[in-house]
Structure 1
């Protein structure tokens, strides 16, 4: 079966949720799934769900926690680069049917990794690997390489009314 490249981007809510939904579907079809989370560095509810209920799916974080309100440091860059290295090895191994790079575009936006490195990952992936990339700020040169691009558009969000993130809904 041919594998495609998906992008979930935009300012709206639901990019990670869409990717995890695809992981759920793939796991239900006995496919091996790997989810790499860039930037994020704590246990979110979706990770607990995967660990408890989706034995065919692995999740690993390549972040030290959100630094969005400050400049990334050397440790943030090292962690992201290590993640990219490990993911390249996984892609080459052909062990997985689906690999998700959650928040990869945020890592690109903050220059933790290069656009060229992500472009190379996409262009050298095995033909049968399904690859999903998420996050705001998807660069045009990566969008060009994708087979499916969904842009989440925020129309209205309760966050603007100072509603804090809620466990099980936003994290």
Structure 2
């Protein structure tokens, strides 16, 4: 039985979700099953159509489709907590080879659920399951627990010049 690892993609730069999607596609091509949970997000993004091409890819959004800046609304908290409970079950079930917790770090930062709940879910996963946790603000406890941590650093971004998010590139 293979050993699963915890990866964290964090930082202010672009590419955290994109990197997790790249690993997901690579895993799918290798014949693995992937569960991709998106916290906070609820908008129609390109990756939502991946199950049309990959039957072993499951993606679920546990967000209200708005960016949280400041105090989250009760519906944000309910959606995130429901998602985390489902993800904890998915992680321990062993049904998936890779589980992505997209924007889990941001959800933690805004207090949508508690770090101890996330850590319990990660520690309770089936031994072969790889996990990727994405989002800015990765807590030090998660960084310490992880086997691989990559920090995306923004050097330059065309958003500063007024370029809006583009379909197929940013979403």
Could you list the runs of 5+ residues in structure 2 that have no partner in the other structure? none
Q: Single out whichever of 123-132 and 135-144 deviates more from structure 2.
A: 123-132
Alignment partner, residue 145 of structure 2? 145
Query: What is the match of residue 167 of structure 1?
Result: 167
Pairwise CA distance, 1:108: 0.3
TM-score, length-scaled by structure 1: 0.96
Find the counterpart in structure 1 of residue 41 from structure 2. Answer: 40
Q: TM-score, normalised by structure 2?
A: 0.96
- Aligned pair count reads 170
Distance in 2 separating the partners of 1:70 and 1:106: 11
How many Å separate the matches in 1 of 2:67 and 2:44? 16
Q: What residue is the counterpart of 2:131 in the other structure? A: 131
2:156 maps to 1:156: yes
Structure 1 segments, 4+ long, off by >6 Å, are none
Question: What's the RMSD between the two structures over aligned residues?
Answer: 1.0
- Looking at structure 1, the residues matched to 161 and 69 of structure 2 have their Cα atoms a distance apart, in angstroms, of 20
| Unaligned segments of structure 1, at least 5 residues | none
Q: For 2:155 and 2:23, how far apart are their aligned partners in 1?
A: 24
Q: State the match for 1:91 in structure 2.
A: 91
Alignment partners' CA distance in 2, 1:92 and 1:141: 21
Deviation of 1:120 (Å): 1.1
Aligned residue for 2:19? 18
User: CA-to-partner distance for each residue in 1:22-80, whole Å, 9 max, x for gaps?
Assistant: 110010011011000000002201222x1221111100000001233453111110000
Residue in 1 that maps onto 2:59: 59
Q: Indicate conservation of the 8 Å contact 1:10/1:151, yes or no.
A: yes
Q: CA deviation at 1:114?
A: 0.7
Aligned to 2:114: 114
CA contact (8 A) 1:39 1:65 kept: yes
